[in-house]
Amino acid sequence: MHLSNDERHKGFLKITVEELQRATNNFSVSNKLGEGGFSIVYRAILDDGTIVAAKLFKSKSCVVQESFFKECQILSKVRHKNIVKVVSAVSNLDTKALILQFISNGNLKEHLYKINNPTNRLTWETRLAIAINVAEAICYLHYGCHEPILHLDLKPSNILLDENKEAYVTDFGIAKLMNTSASGAEITATIRGSWGYIAREFAVLGQISVKADVYSYGIVLLELLTRRRPTDSAFEDGMNVRIWVQQALSRKHDILKVVDDALLNDRGDLVSQDICEALKTGIICSRISMEDRPSMRDVVNLLLQVKDKHMIHESHMLPNANNE
């Protein structure tokens, strides 16, 4: 099977179960990239040499089958540079797998919490770029598709990074189509997702809207900048990452106590101003009341403003050529 790059871009590849087994060395542990509740992801090399990610669904249960078909349905509708592309799907009585674009550099969670590789730390500029990549992807899901799509499980392990640390949103297993042109409409759903990243109205009432994704995004943004999980054991007695950051922002000099140490450097004050603005965006995204949260369009604009300000700050810090 040989297809040109144009053919691969335009549509699904035709892949058999037998080719998938060869591509993964019969789903060898050595090719395993990760595992979730419903699926295992393998690195796979197709017969024509193309490297892909094969997401193999674990069982034949109704819930798992639903997750497979839902992800096929959602991913076939989306085309965005920061959303992982579906290449093909394999389905028979015994095997169900999604064949996905291979993103080579792991997920954001791995990069945030790599302890033994300080040379690969994420810089402020890289984190801001990641935040904008993800915001633009979620904004596209909400406003750029025929029907709004809710991701509902946004978290660092569902954000992949390529060799240039550009970010890609993945894992649409519990995503939902709104089936309405009104982006603010609400629906109810069985509560699934990841604790700590789920909006209150979803966790308590099963009520979801585009603002549920905005909440999750806000928590991810706070985690990205503080390197503190929302489920961190240090948060107790009603404390959480949002309140912790909000209290630090209200006491201006405490902000450096919550920002990830890896972001602090000799450029200090100007960089911390930009980080504070990004943290404020995380705070407003994760407001308790969904009516008080911004839209993802607003979030993208806020972060682009942070980027613009940072570029101005950087230009002011460059040596003046006239003084050489």
Tokens standing for residue 205 = 């009432």
Q: Are 136 and 169 in contact (CB under 8 A)?
A: no
Query: What CATH number matches the domain at 14-101, 3.40.50.720, 3.40.1190.20, 3.30.200.20, 1.10.3720.10?
Result: 3.30.200.20
Among candidate residues 203, 15, 192, 25, the one with its CA nearest the CA of residue 100: 15
Share of the chain above pLDDT 70, in %: 84
Q: What is the pLDDT of residue 190?
A: 56
Q: Are 124 and 274 in contact (CB under 8 A)?
A: yes
Whether 153 is catalytic is: yes
CA angle 114-120-124, nearest 5°?
A: 100
Distance from C-alpha of 208 to C-alpha of 212, rounded to nearest angstrom: 6
| Beta-carbon contacts of residue 263 (< 8 Å; ≥ 6 apart) | 123, 124, 127, 225, 271, 275
Query: What CATH number matches the domain at 108-314, 3.30.565.10, 1.10.510.10, 1.20.210.10, 3.40.50.300?
Result: 1.10.510.10
Using the structure block, give the residue that is written with the tokens 């099963």: 206
Residue ranges of domains in the chain:
14-101, 108-314
Of 6, 94, 153, 232, which one is the catalytic site residue?
A: 153
Residue 136 C-beta-side C-alpha neighbours within 13 Å: 16
Q: What is the pLDDT of residue 93?
A: 83
For residue 289, CA distances in Å to 88, 151, 190, 207 come to 39, 19, 20, 12
10-residue block means of pLDDT along the chain (324 residues)? 38 83 96 89 95 91 84 89 94 90 95 72 92 98 94 96 97 80 51 80 89 97 95 87 92 82 66 89 97 98 94 70 45
